[in-house]
Amino acid sequence: MDLTTTYMGLKLKNPVVPSASPLSQRVEDIKKLEDAGAAAVVMFSIFEEQIQHDAEALDHLLTAGTDSFAEALSYFPEVGNYTVGPEQYLTLIARATKECGIPIIGSINGVSDEGWVDYAKQIEQAGAHGIELNVYYIPTDPKMLGATVEQMYLDVVRTVKKAVRIPVAVKLSPYFSSMANMAQKLDATGVDAMVLFNRFYQPDLDLENMEVLSDLNLSSPSEMRLPLRWIALLKGHVKASLGATTGVHGGKDVAKYLLAGADVAMTTSALLKHGIGHVGTLLKELQAFMTEKEYESVRQMKGAMSQRAVANPAAFERANYIKILEDYKGRYIAG
């Protein structure tokens, strides 16, 4: 059975890739991920605040949206409280690329093309095989147009692509008014991969103490439906690789993403919950599914149930929404 796949131009031994998380903060753990079967590892995100310590820029970022960055377990801490600084991050990448036999993908979490484009070059020089850009911004100014936000994303990706030679992926939010059009615009920049979708930790309200809370809730398989839909819709319409993230807890979740059109399925929550060895479980369950359905390769699976491939393309569109409501209404009346 051939599990190999190609993602952002990198040839991988299988489609299971641990996404950015604390599991990549030590070379020893990255080696364990490799031994468990991971095909590549996306490093935990280095924040723009760690790269650019300019006080005014930091103040702007903090007030723009404190809950807006993936892998953030709370509101932004003070710069001095980060446990891993930029130099340590580069050293970690350099060690990991030398001591591990799988691709190591650096991750930058920022909102501007100032201050961290140069750092993208340093990540490349440290030996990373690729870079993932976690570009996310909450436009709190009511006067800011959606087109302005889109252009910010495009400028960041285009600038980084020009700055480095290694593959560049962009991890997106699902909040664009026209996701398909935005994906095509990003595709035109030459980005090597799009990761759908970034999972953000939203604040809650503590009614007892009248405080705003920000805590970590691990993903559930039900959360994969949104990225699953858009991967199925975009497959065949963009040249960039499609990475799927959020909700991958079992091998069948990996299979669903592949069938929709993803090149890789990324996971973090399942590994934090079950341990690094769960990578092997995902692969075993994927292989069992492939055997049951008589798939000989991952390549054969990819996109087999995308919108362009299924008998009922409307299942991914508005028509399906109407059908679901009608079916539910029918069951309610019958009951």
Structure tokens at 45: 């995100």
Examine the domain organization and report whether 110 and 253 are in the same domain: yes
**Shared-domain flag, residues 133 and 30:** yes
Specify whether 42 is located in the same domain as 190.
Answer: yes
Average pLDDT (228-232) is 96
Q: What is the CATH number of the domain that holds 99?
A: 3.20.20.70
Using the predicted structure, report yes or no on whether residue 221 has a pLDDT greater than 90: no
Domain co-membership, 282 together with 193? yes
Let me know whether 326 and 258 are in one domain. Answer: no
Q: Which domain holds residue 315?
A: 310-335
- Report residue 257 as tokens: 């993403």
State whether 121 and 151 are in the same domain.
yes
Same domain, 100 and 165: yes
Q: What is the mean pLDDT of residues 274-300?
A: 97
Instruction: Specify whether 289 is located in the same domain as 321.
Output: no
Q: What percent of the chain has pLDDT over 90?
A: 60
* 93 and 150 both lie in a single domain: yes
pLDDT for residue 160 is more than 70: yes
> How many domains does one find in the chain?
2
Write phi, then psi, for 126 (nearest 5 degrees): -70, -15
149-168 average pLDDT score: 92
Using a pLDDT cut of 70, give the percent of the chain over it: 79
Contact between 242 and 306 under an 8 Å Cβ cutoff? The reply is no
Task: Please report the pLDDT score of residue 56 as a whole number.
Answer: 44
Task: Provide the residue count of the chain.
Answer: 335
pLDDT for the residue 313 = 77
Q: Of 276 and 200, which is predicted with more confidence?
A: 276
pLDDT confidence band for 58 (50 / 70 / 90): very low
User: How does the average pLDDT of the chain come out, rounded?
Assistant: 85
Q: Are residues 77 and 220 in the same domain?
A: yes
User: For position 118, what pLDDT does the model report?
Assistant: 79
212 in the same domain as 325: no
DSSP state of 246: S
18 strand-pairing partners: 267
Cis peptide before 76 (omega within 30 of 0): no
**Residues 71-98: pLDDT tens digits?**
443 333 344 444 456 788 999 999 999 9
Is the domain of 271 the same as that of 315?
no
- pLDDT of 137 over the 90 cut: no
